[in-house]
Amino acid sequence: MYEQHVVNQKIESWAKIGHWRFDIQSQSVVWSAEASRIFDLPQTRKPSLSIIVDALPLDFKNTFQTYINSAIEHKQCFEFTSIISSHNGLKKHIKFLGEPEVDCDANVVALFGLVQDITYAQKSLHREEESRLLLETASEVANIGYWRVDLIDNELVWSDETYRIHDLEPGELTPSLSFALNQYHPDDVQRVEHVVEQCIRSGNEYEFKARIVTQQGNTKYIQAKGRILEKAGKQIALFGTIQDISDQLNAMEKKEWWQYLVNETIEGIVITNEKGIIVWANHAFEKITGFKKSELIGVKPGSILQGPDTDPDAIIKLRQAIKNKEAVSVEILNYSKKGDPYWIFLSIFPRFDEDGNVMQYMAIEIDITERKNDEQKLADKQKELEFVNFKLDRQIKAAESALAREELISLSLEKEIQKTRALQEQFRKIANQDALTGISNRRHFVKRAQSEINRAKRYGSALTICMFDIDHFKSVNDTFGHQKGDDVIRRVSETTAALLRVDVDLVGRLGGEEFGILFPQTTLKEGLLVTERVRVAIEHEQILPLKKVMCSFGVAELSETDDLDSIMARCDEMLYLAKNSGRNCVKG
């Protein structure tokens, strides 16, 4: 019996469970050594109910007494957990169980039960809960959810963040394998099934990117990882994570798009450090200057681009603005690597750090050589016209003072008038027509567009404007040369003009490979139909050998609140959408 008693004590000590008995008649308590240890009482201390009551929290003492009374009066068992302050002042979590002991007459003569120290278990549970909360918080911050599939009973468990990624409230439904697979985009389902099946067959981890379509109809890009969990060499579960990477991909796409725009734009862009030394230049800047990027890096732009006829006042204006850390814009004459002069409209912007110090300068330059040449031609023609008018005035005066020579002067006057009209017509063409294509230039297109907008608002008529450009035009120049590129621009202009209403619609070259079409008294629907015919005609026009020329179009209709800038901006947005939709299409 003694050996059994020792064994029982060991078992109680290992399990941290003590037993107790309360005799109702004598009001005495007997408990085991482990019960004494739980309350940190010396073996010599006589146990009592008051020791238990004193150890309990103040707000639980009455509850404990209620349990005791109910057990005695109503023969009810009881069980509770609580925090106690032991005899040594230590805080412990205990589990207390009790039930009545009855005699042969069914009278309650005693209460007995168990008391267990569950402090370690509670701390472990608390740590586990903290870990779970930390994991859930980290998952939510990183947009990473986790899930687990029991391969024995096919039960699927999702974390809260996995629900949120699928646009569901946590616990809103009980997910199944078929439901989870059906959330993937129809084009991705088969691939996802194959990857997961391969993982189960081979035991290897997997990782893939795919699309899901949520219950709200939102398409999201996700990255999934998974692996097999084994126990005793047997596969028991498939565990994995799912991360919403839509924002990352969108940011990458925007970054790549802006990098593409900066590199492919016809405007030259160059970035210097705070000392004005070039650190980066785009393709257009290389094309305009004739220098390769490797030749530009590490030098100051002015040292290689300015020449003998560069305006000193423009140089002084640039230097003064840079000295004052200000933005500046000038028209300036530069020289290419070959020594050819060219005009640019140059804008320079400083970029500051948090302390207000200049980190970099960004310069954007637009080649305006063609415009400058046109202006010079206009000036020359103006002088010629002034000279003709001067001669005409002299001849009129001579005619007035010499009536006898009236017939001769009349004939001469008629010739001079014809010559003047011819010069005026040349003047008009130079002012209104694009030199390369013969269609309207940007200045005339904008002037006519403003006039049509005023007319449309005055009479309440419809007006639609289209902007379009040639897709991948840079590759045309790179592959076939600039002369062929000019030919492409001319042919696109001719094809477009041939499909428009004579003396009603207007096509103009807005710059480079960019064009505009003006559709007076035309709704958006009608404008889209005509624009689509233009797109198809250009695509089917045999302009380049073994290569189609295609264009992207943006169309907008004038609204009551529109002005020229706003409707052109909406056309530009639609053109941007067409580019993002795969090009060679019409958006409006």
Burial of 419 (0-12, 13-18, 19+ CB in 10 A): middle
For residue 8, tell me if it sits in a domain. Answer: yes
Q: What pLDDT does residue 17 have? A: 83
Say if CB 527 and CB 459 are below 8 A apart: no
Say if CB 255 and CB 242 are below 8 A apart: no
Say if CB 539 and CB 490 are below 8 A apart: no
For residue 110, tell me if it sits in a domain. Answer: yes
Nearest-10 Cα torsion for 570, 575, 581, 584: 150
Q: Is the pLDDT of residue 571 over 80?
A: yes
Burial of 383 (0-12, 13-18, 19+ CB in 10 A): exposed
Nearest Cα neighbor of 38 from 58, 22, 17, 21 is 17
Same domain, 240 and 271: no
For residue 554, tell me if it sits in a domain. Answer: yes
Rounded to an integer, the average pLDDT of 165-173 is: 89
Same domain, 463 and 411: no
Of 346-360, 495-509, 554-568, the one with minimum mean pLDDT is 346-360
Domain containing 160 equals 141-244
For residue 165, tell me if it sits in a domain. Answer: yes
Q: Is the pLDDT of residue 297 over 80?
A: yes
How big is the CA angle at 499 (ends 498 and 505), to the nearest 5 degrees? Answer: 95
Same domain, 75 and 199: no
Model confidence pLDDT, tens digit, residues 314-334: 889 988 988 898 888 889 999
Same domain, 486 and 574: yes
Same domain, 260 and 196: no
Q: What pLDDT does residue 440 have? A: 92
- The confidence band for 532, taking pLDDT boundaries of 50, 70 and 90, is very high
Last residue of a domain, one of 207, 223, 244: 244
Same domain, 475 and 550: yes
- The confidence band for 580, taking pLDDT boundaries of 50, 70 and 90, is very high
Q: What pLDDT does residue 48 have? A: 85
Count of domains in the chain? 5
**Global pTM value:** 0.37
Model confidence pLDDT, tens digit, residues 211-236: 999 988 889 888 888 888 888 888 88
Q: What pLDDT does residue 4 have? A: 45
- The confidence band for 430, taking pLDDT boundaries of 50, 70 and 90, is low
Nearest Cα neighbor of 269 from 364, 397, 175 is 364
Strand pairing category for 514-520 and 341-352? unpaired
Q: Indicate which CATH number applies to the domain containing 462.
A: 3.30.70.270
Model confidence pLDDT, tens digit, residues 90-107: 888 888 899 999 988 889
Q: What pLDDT does residue 6 have? A: 47
Q: What pLDDT does residue 418 have? A: 64
Q: What pLDDT does residue 462 have? A: 95
Rounded to an integer, the average pLDDT of 389-415 is: 59
For residue 127, tell me if it sits in a domain. Answer: no
d(CA 534, CA 555): 13
Of 8-12, 87-91, 347-351, 388-392, the one with minimum mean pLDDT is 8-12
**pLDDT mean across residues, the chain:** 83
How much is the CA Rg of the chain, to the nearest whole Å? 44
Q: What pLDDT does residue 412 have? A: 56
Same domain, 191 and 265: no
Q: What pLDDT does residue 170 have? A: 87
Last residue of a domain, one of 324, 352, 367: 367
For residue 128, tell me if it sits in a domain. Answer: no
Q: What pLDDT does residue 1 have? A: 44
Q: Indicate which CATH number applies to the domain containing 37.
A: 3.30.450.20
Same domain, 322 and 363: yes
Last residue of a domain, one of 203, 227, 244: 244
Q: Is the pLDDT of residue 9 over 70?
A: no
For residue 363, tell me if it sits in a domain. Answer: yes
Same domain, 558 and 576: yes
- The confidence band for 481, taking pLDDT boundaries of 50, 70 and 90, is confident
d(CA 329, CA 365): 9
Rounded to an integer, the average pLDDT of 275-293 is: 90
Same domain, 379 and 327: no
For residue 131, tell me if it sits in a domain. Answer: no
Say if CB 98 and CB 80 are below 8 A apart: no
Same domain, 390 and 521: no
- The confidence band for 421, taking pLDDT boundaries of 50, 70 and 90, is low
Same domain, 233 and 272: no
